[in-house]
Amino acid sequence: MSDTTPAGDSAQPSTPAQPEQVTVRRAPKIPAFLVVGGFLGFLGTLIATSLFPADEEVGFATLVAYFSVYGITIGVLLGAVVGIVLDRRSRKRARTLQAEREAVDPAPVEGELEQ
């Protein structure tokens, strides 16, 4: 490799960066609400299924698996609703700030580079 840098890399912009308006807000992570809702739906299904006697022909595990389809689905939907409501609330608390772009050179690499 050569030690010379291309001409385009060393060129700096002639005018300073103008400040821009940016919106900053704390948004919830929706997938986390979906996973937690699904888990709580499964736990609710497990508790509700264990409250009633299981059919001897079907078995407890089969009943839990069957009703988990409904419990997990309802839990995920409720988790999505909670996540969306919290996302809407975070939009009301959003702030508009001034931001400037700043060019940062990468840190130099020490040692030998493999080719």
The predicted structure's pLDDT at residue 108: 80
Task: Decide: 26 and 91 in contact? Cβ < 8 Å.
Answer: no
Lowest mean pLDDT among 13-17, 23-27, 68-72, 82-86: 13-17
Residue type for position 43 = L
The predicted structure's pLDDT at residue 86: 93
- Domain-wise residue ranges, the chain: 31-99
Q: What average pLDDT score do residues 59-86 get?
A: 95
**Per-residue confidence at 1, pLDDT binned at 50, 70, 90?**
very low
pLDDT at residue 11 is higher than 70: no
pLDDT at residue 13 is higher than 80: no
3-state secondary structure of 21: strand
Q: For residues 71 and 14, what is the distance between their CA atoms, to the nearest angstrom?
A: 61
Cα diameter, the chain: 81
